[in-house]
Amino acid sequence: MKNLLFLPLIIPLATAVLGLLAWNRRTVQRWLGIGSATLLTVVGSSILLQVQQQGILSAQAGNWPAPFGITLVADTFSALMLLASGLMGLCVTVYSLADADSEQESRGYHPLLQVLLLGICGSFLTGDLFNLYVWFEVMLIASFVLLALGGKREQMEGAIKYVALNLIASAFLLAGIGLLYGVTGTLNMAHLAIKLQEIPHTGTVPVIAALLFCAFSIKAAVFPFYFWLPASYHTPPIAVITIFSALLSKVGIYVLIRVFTLIFPLEALAGQPLILGAAGLTMLFGALGAIAQPELRRLLSFCVISQIGYLLMGLGLMTPLALAGSIFFMLHIMAAKSALFLTTGLIARMTGTTVLKELGGLYRRYPLLAVLFLVPALSVAGIPPLSGFWGKLALVQAGLQSKQYLLVAVALGVSVLTLYYLVTAWIELFWKNQPADAAELHRLVPVRRYQMLVPALLLALVSLLAGLLPEPLFRLCRTAAEQLVHNDAYIKAVLGVMQ
Amino acid sequence: MESMLAVVIGGLYAAGMYLMVRRSIVKMIFGLALLGNAANLLIFTVGRLTRGRPPHVPADGVLSSLPVADPVPQALILTAIVIGFGVQAFALVLIKRVYQTVGSDDQDEMTTENQEQGKSS
């Protein structure tokens, strides 16, 4: 059953290849995309089930024993992320049926989405640092093309910033990996964890850790490296931004958590104050940026940054409760924020604009849409009993236990700011009177409407359910956090007897 | 040999960084290429330089004496070169498209902040 771990890589790869072969048949590509994402969700949940029953799974590519070959590893954290990626892939693919225009589809939109998923699944599963770099590049090249696909002027401007910053991050990552190999002579993450315990954390080691931190922080849009995100995320189609914000920046955080729990334990580097500071500033600057935005997509882009800060806060605190809070929050934010983005896309489709000043009075025509925007918005702000509340509760509790009062105050203050700007946006969209010069609403064909509504509704429901019944999911996150903090099990699962 | 390579790597990084902060996107792409090459040379150097001892096992299956060159850094560099090649090819096409749509290669002229923003198609 260990070959199960290869399936999340084989499914999107095979689909992408088949999709490229069926270049001009858009219907085939669409069905392939939906089929692949469904399969990925099923495989993700069965991996999660197996990890629950048998502990951490590992598979050696080509049967090369552990530190020499490439290892794939799935612990609870990566299995949860895989499941979430499958689900997000499915929602976005269905949404794209209505949202992506024929020009994008004829230029390979669906196969590219699969390549993106391939890179994401690979990053979640790999147990080898250089392999991680390769998956990052797979993910990046797909995201470059998705971002630029369509060729509008603003997209080009967004793409050039995104490409430049991400390539710098890759160069940093590559340099860090090279230096790490020079110091330890291995690239297997579990093996690195053992090797680095043997050498003192002075000289080159902190430099390597800093290089890797910078590289992953750029990808995750952490302060002070976040400025590329609002410069580029508002330009591509909504479906593309949704999957970028749900998965790409979260891969960065996932890898930060993985690397700084397993390879470089933070205590040894005394890096905690740095990460906590970055977390607080990311929250604050994201929220302040969002308040100033007159346009919905930019507002949500800044909101993405602000939430990244909370995820980083869990890593900085480094207690099992804090990490569990981070993981719960990460899953919550994928669902809730994507529901917001998808609803925004629907509004943009109907009204032809996302500028708040030009919108209004939608509540009278579409009360369901108003609820669909309000529930995830309140969830993101952290209003009980929605999912965001439980993640924040765990993080704040962990923060108080670690006596990080200032950071806790910032986290709570930013929650209020988040509530403020999201509710203001809601009022602008739905509550205030329609401006006199507003354009006529487009009525969507029923099929299209459902293709766009159902994914948004599903994600909002996931967020609502996770809020009303947080216990099972939180227990899973807790297990994942325990596995991250006590990494012996991970090392043993990868290296087996040879230690 | 190591110190010479260290100087070369430092020079490449410096030149790459300098080009990256220029406003022209063409220079920026050149800078990215230099950064990639600097990282590759860095891997090569820190992976220990061993001269004239390829990591081949002779026909009798016995390695006569250590050390032989480490094949892993070379494999890493080869992979990184291939990836870098693909990414740079994409970047070149991208800057050509950007030049066609924007009509300039100056990054300062590439901003629609002040123009009408957020109009969705």
Question: Does residue A134 have a pLDDT over 50?
Answer: yes
Residue A73 is inside which H or E element, if any? strand A71-74
| β-strand partners of A71 | A60
Question: Does residue A407 have a pLDDT over 80?
Answer: yes
Among A157, A358, A442, most B C-beta atoms within 10 A, so best to mutate, is A157
Q: Which residue of A has its CA nearest to B86?
A: A141
Q: What is the pLDDT of residue A172?
A: 92
- Using CA atoms, how far residue B107 sits from B31, B89, B110, B118, in Å, is 15, 20, 5, 20
Q: What is the pLDDT of residue B114?
A: 44
Q: How many CA atoms lie within 13 A of B17 on its CB side?
A: 8
Lowest mean pLDDT among A275-284, A326-335, A458-467, B101-110: B101-110
Lowest mean pLDDT among A85-94, A489-498, B67-76: A489-498
Name the residue among A301, A328, A338 with its Cα closest to residue A88.
Answer: A338
Q: What is the pLDDT of residue A256?
A: 92
Cβ–Cβ gap A298/B118 under 8 Å? yes
Structure token digits, residue A401: 């236990």
Contacts with B, A 136-155, CB within 8 Å: 137, 140-141, 144-145, 148, 151-154
User: Smallest CA–CA separation between B44 and chain A, in Å?
Assistant: 8
Question: Does residue B118 have a pLDDT over 50?
Answer: no
Cβ–Cβ gap B101/A353 under 8 Å? no
CB atoms within 10 A of CB A281: 17
Query: Measured between CB atoms, which of B83, B110, B117 is closest to A295?
Result: B117
How far apart CA A437 and CA A460 sit, in angstroms, is 32
- Confidence label for A204 from pLDDT (cuts 50, 70 and 90): confident
- Kindly report, residue by residue over A410-449, the tens digit of the pLDDT: 999 999 999 999 999 998 888 888 777 766 777 777 788 8
How far apart CA A261 and CA A324 sit, in angstroms, is 13
ipTM here? 0.88
Lowest mean pLDDT among A11-20, A115-124, A429-438: A429-438
How far apart CA A277 and CA A386 sit, in angstroms, is 27
Phi, psi of A486, deg, nearest 5: -100, 90
- Using CA atoms, how far residue A299 sits from A19, A229, A383, A430, in Å, is 35, 12, 19, 16
Lowest mean pLDDT among A186-195, A425-434, B5-14, B47-56: B47-56
Cβ–Cβ gap B98/A160 under 8 Å? yes
Question: Does residue B119 have a pLDDT over 50?
Answer: no
DSSP-derived 3-state class of residue A343? helix
User: Smallest CA–CA separation between A353 and chain B, in Å?
Assistant: 5
What does the angle CA B34 – CA B37 – CA B39 come to, to the nearest 5 degrees? 110
- Using CA atoms, how far residue A46 sits from A23, A79, A120, A263, A282, in Å, is 32, 9, 18, 28, 35
Is B4 exposed, middle or buried (CB count within 10 Å of its CB: 0-12, 13-18, 19+)? exposed
Whether the CB-CB separation of A340 and A359 falls below 8 Å is answered with no
Name the residue among A334, A464, A333, A325 with its Cα closest to residue A391.
Answer: A325
Query: Measured between CB atoms, which of A148, A153, A171 is closest to B35?
Result: A171
Contacts of A168 in chain B (CB under 8 A): 20, 32, 35
Question: Does residue A58 have a pLDDT over 60?
Answer: yes
Question: Does residue A274 have a pLDDT over 60?
Answer: yes
Cβ–Cβ gap A178/B98 under 8 Å? no
How far apart CA A160 and CA A147 sit, in angstroms, is 10
Q: What is the pLDDT of residue A99?
A: 82
Name the residue among B38, B61, B45 with its Cα closest to residue B4.
Answer: B45
Whether the CB-CB separation of A419 and A321 falls below 8 Å is answered with no
How far apart CA A260 and CA A318 sit, in angstroms, is 9
Lowest mean pLDDT among A192-196, B18-22, B56-60: B56-60
Contacts of A166 in chain B (CB under 8 A): none
How far apart CA A143 and CA A140 sit, in angstroms, is 5
Whether the CB-CB separation of A43 and A8 falls below 8 Å is answered with yes
Q: Which residue of B has its CA nearest to A186?
A: B72
Cβ–Cβ gap A353/B73 under 8 Å? no
Amino acid at A499: Q
- Confidence label for A497 from pLDDT (cuts 50, 70 and 90): low
DSSP-derived 3-state class of residue A475? helix
Cβ–Cβ gap A187/B72 under 8 Å? yes
User: Smallest CA–CA separation between B45 and chain A, in Å?
Assistant: 8
- Kindly report, residue by residue over B23-51, the tens digit of the pLDDT: 888 999 999 999 999 999 999 998 888 77
How far apart CA A421 and CA A493 sit, in angstroms, is 46
- Kindly report, residue by residue over B65-113, the tens digit of the pLDDT: 667 788 888 899 999 999 999 999 999 998 888 888 888 788 777 766 5
Structure token digits, residue A392: 């924040």
Q: What is the pLDDT of residue A237?
A: 86
Dihedral angle of Cα A63, A64, A66, A69, to the nearest 10 degrees: -120
How far apart CA A56 and CA A73 sit, in angstroms, is 7
Question: Does residue B121 have a pLDDT over 60?
Answer: no
Instruction: Please give the residue that has the higher pLDDT: either A235 or A121.
Output: A121
User: Smallest CA–CA separation between A154 and chain B, in Å?
Assistant: 7
- Using CA atoms, how far residue A309 sits from A303, A305, B10, in Å, is 10, 7, 34
How far apart CA A440 and CA A351 sit, in angstroms, is 7
- Using CA atoms, how far residue A2 sits from A8, A47, A61, A66, A365, in Å, is 12, 10, 11, 14, 52
Q: What is the pLDDT of residue A487?
A: 84
Structure token digits, residue A387: 């999912």
User: Smallest CA–CA separation between B63 and chain A, in Å?
Assistant: 19
Cβ–Cβ gap B39/A179 under 8 Å? no
Contacts with B, A 95-114, CB within 8 Å: 101
Whether the CB-CB separation of A229 and A219 falls below 8 Å is answered with no
- Confidence label for B63 from pLDDT (cuts 50, 70 and 90): low
Query: Measured between CB atoms, which of A141, A234, A294 is closest to B90?
Result: A141
Lowest mean pLDDT among A183-192, A267-276, A467-476: A267-276
Lowest mean pLDDT among A43-57, A283-297, A441-455: A441-455
Structure token digits, residue B22: 């220029």
Question: Does residue B117 have a pLDDT over 70?
Answer: no
Q: What is the pLDDT of residue A272?
A: 85
Sorted by sequence, the CB contacts under 8 Å of residue A486 that are 6+ apart come out as none
How far apart CA B96 and CA A160 sit, in angstroms, is 11
How far apart CA A328 and CA A322 sit, in angstroms, is 10
Whether the CB-CB separation of B55 and B16 falls below 8 Å is answered with no
Q: Which residue of A has its CA nearest to B37?
A: A171
SS3 content of chain A, % helix, strand, coil (to 5): 80, 5, 20
Q: Which residue of A has its CA nearest to B87?
A: A141
Most confident of A221-230, A268-277, A322-331, B54-63: A322-331
Contacts of A67 in chain B (CB under 8 A): none
Can you tell me the mean pLDDT for A120-136? 93
Structure token digits, residue A84: 């979430």
Contacts of A297 in chain B (CB under 8 A): 118
Sorted by sequence, the CB contacts under 8 Å of residue B10 that are 6+ apart come out as none
- Kindly report, residue by residue over A450-493, the tens digit of the pLDDT: 888 899 999 999 989 988 988 899 999 999 999 888 888 888 88
Structure token digits, residue A334: 């994928």
DSSP string, A479-499: HHHHHHHSTHHHHHHHHTT--
Structure token digits, residue A51: 């990890």
Whether the CB-CB separation of A168 and B118 falls below 8 Å is answered with no
Amino acid at B91: A
Q: What is the pLDDT of residue A1?
A: 58
Plot region of B56 (φ>0 → left; ψ -120 to 50 → alpha; else → beta): beta
Dihedral angle of Cα A118, A186, B6, B4, to the nearest 10 degrees: -120
- Using CA atoms, how far residue A239 sits from A53, A100, A140, B51, B113, in Å, is 35, 8, 17, 53, 23
Structure token digits, residue A424: 């203001």
Question: Does residue A360 have a pLDDT over 90?
Answer: no
